[in-house]
Structure formats: structure tokens, C-alpha cells
Amino acid sequence: MIKILFLCHGNICRSPMAEFIMKDLVKKVGLEQKIIIESAATSTEEIGNPVYPPARRKLAEHGIDCSGKRARQLQNSDYEKYDLLIGMDRANLRDMYRICGGDFADKMHLLMDFTDHPGEVADPWYTDDFDTTWRDVEEGCRGVLSQIIHKVLICG
């Protein structure tokens, strides 16, 4: 079983988009029984809130339902629970290190590091560009899934 936790600042835009895009991709390749996917925030600002409406609408445009998702914050104990902790930007990564006390097992990464153009996923809360966020997050999730499949099928 592989466990992935996606992270962003508030857990209402980018990380839930990543969570549900990844769940959809994993289901389409028949690996939903082998990969657990969740998301969380690095801050406390949005805890308990649902996915931000424009992010929810963008997911729905692609036939992906995220109903029932509520923001939660990353806990120190999540470091042991998950195999991959994937942040959207460098500020998220810094907060992840702070909350978890470091990255001793090389579990923490940026989502776009799984693509051909590493960098950050811009926060649509500020940019209001949910199309670009969708494209980046989808590309990153495809990269994560490709790497997992490669490791499981090729490397055992």
C-alpha cells in the first residue's frame, strides 16, 4: 500500500484538487486498492472548510466529485503515516519541514518536481487562474503516478 498526502496552504484549492485528480487517475488504472490519497493544509486558517467553490467547479468540469472534503492541518504524525508528502510550493515545503521536524526519509517533494518543468503550482486563491492550476496539478499527478507505477512494476 502506498500512501500519499498532498499539501497546500489552506487545503481548499490546490491540495484537494491534487487529491481528487490523483484518485481519479488511480481509479482509471485500477490501482485504487493499492494507493491511498489524501490532502491537508500547512496552516490552520481553513480547517473544517469545504473545497473552495471555484476549485470544486473546476473538478466538476472534469467529472470529479470532491463532496464531503473538509480542510485539515498536517500533523507531525502524518510523516510516519504517509510514504510521500507532496507540497505545491516552497512555502508549503518549509512549513511541512517545520511541522514534521525535517525530512529524514526523503518523503517530502514539490508536485512539479514530478514533471519535466520543476517549480511551483501557483495558488489560484491569489491568481484566480484555476485553468493553469488544473493543468499543473494534473501534470504533476500524472508524473507521480508514472513514478509509482515504474517503481512497482519495474523495480518491484
Q: List pLDDT tens digits, range 64-102.
A: 999 999 999 999 999 999 999 999 999 999 999 999 999
Instruction: Clarify whether 123 is annotated catalytic.
Output: yes
Instruction: Clarify whether 90 is annotated catalytic.
Output: no
Distances (CA, A) of 23 to 58, 101, 118, 137, 150: 15, 28, 22, 12, 18
Which is the catalytic residue, given 13, 14, 78, 95? 14
- CATH code of the domain made up of 2-154: 3.40.50.2300
pTM for the structure as a whole: 0.96
**Residue 102: Cβ within 10 Å count:** 10
Which is the catalytic residue, given 78, 89, 123, 136? 123
At 150, the pLDDT band (50, 70, 90 cuts) reads: confident
Q: How many Å is the maximal CA-CA distance in the chain?
A: 42
Instruction: Clarify whether 103 is annotated catalytic.
Output: no
Cell reading at 117? 518543468
Given a cut of 80, whether residue 22 has pLDDT beyond it is yes
Question: For the residues 123-149, what does the mean pLDDT come to?
Answer: 96
Amino acid at 13: C
